[in-house]
Amino acid sequence: MTDQKRNKVLHIGLWIAQALVALMLLWGAFAKLGTPIEELAKMMPWATENPSLVTLTGIVDLLGGLGLLLPALLKIKPQLTIYAAYGTIALMVAAAIFHISRGEYESVGMNVVILLIAVFIAWGRSKKEPILPKV
């Protein structure tokens, strides 16, 4: 496989990863910011205990989801996508620790999956090649 073809495959994989993680974060933001706490507590038992944490994590999810897509798509400071990936990694570590401390081990798997995809995004986007391949 040539370097050009390898780079194209990497870029496509990165865009798929970014879209996947961004959609998951944006869905989380929508759920946390747009769903009444009582209804949200059915999915997230900790929501009624920590409504401020629900709002905070909803805002962080929203910013992370937008940060993974918009800078690269708009070609305005595309290196911010790397920082959004680092932020997502930190968020998933914190979320996993939070769920482990509460004994909610079934939630940790998704945190680890998102964390690994975010590591791939940070690694791939920190390479010196352009964010978008020339067409």
The Cβ-side half-sphere exposure at 81, using a 13 Å CA radius, reads 30
Report pLDDT for 133.
53
Report pLDDT for 45.
82
Closest-CA residue to 46 (of 111, 9, 98, 92)? 98
Report pLDDT for 44.
86
Task: Please provide the DSSP assignment of 40-101 as one string.
Answer: HTTT-GGGTT-HHHHHHHHHHHHHHHHHHHHHHHHTSSTTHHHHHHHHHHHHHHHHHHHHHH
Report pLDDT for 128.
62
pLDDT in tens, 97-110: 999 999 989 989 99
Report pLDDT for 130.
52
Task: Please provide the DSSP assignment of 107-129 as one string.
Answer: GHHHHHHHHHHHHHHHHHHTSSS
Report, as ranges of residue numbers, the positions in the chain whose pLDDT lies below 50.
Answer: 135
Does residue 37 contact residue 48 with C-beta atoms inside 8 Å?
A: yes
